[in-house]
Amino acid sequence: MAARYAPMRIDQNTKQPVQNKQHNPELYGYWLAAERDALKAAAPYYAPRLTAIALQTTTLDKGEDHRGDPREFLRELFMQMASRREIGRAALPAPKGKGNGDAQVIEATVVETVKEEDEDNGDGEAV
């Protein structure tokens, strides 16, 4: 219907644009709006809208409970890698000494004192 009231038409014999004698600007605008609404409603059936989705995967064993402390999980992972010798002292660069480029050896003694404390009895009061 919009083509019927368009300002120009294609002549069937000459294939040239000619002035349309039935041109009506109000009807032409109405039918163009109706065509646009119909195409908008039909668009999802011809070209589906693409949306981004996120895929979350886990490499942890499904049988284990992983709601624990993530620091404990990282510690276990570190210990496993250390036992396989994937990480260790060889991965760290040696500190450079002064002047000759040799590494300095620093000796240190770590003293750990453990204070004996009463265990919490679970009653919610400070011990």
pLDDT digits (tens, 9 = 90+) for 23-65: 888 999 999 999 999 999 999 888 888 888 777 666 655 555 5
- Rg, C-alpha atoms of the chain: 40
pTM over 0.85: no
What is the phi/psi pair of residue 8, to 5°?
-125, 150
pLDDT (0 to 100) of residue 48: 80
pLDDT (0 to 100) of residue 74: 87
Per the structure block, which two tokens stand in for 15? 């294939």
Q: What is the mean pLDDT of residues 72-82?
A: 87
Question: E strands within the chain?
Answer: 8-10, 17-19
Higher per-residue confidence, 81 vs 86: 81
pLDDT (0 to 100) of residue 50: 81
106 pLDDT above the threshold of 60: yes
Under DSSP, the state recorded for 70 is H
pLDDT (0 to 100) of residue 32: 92
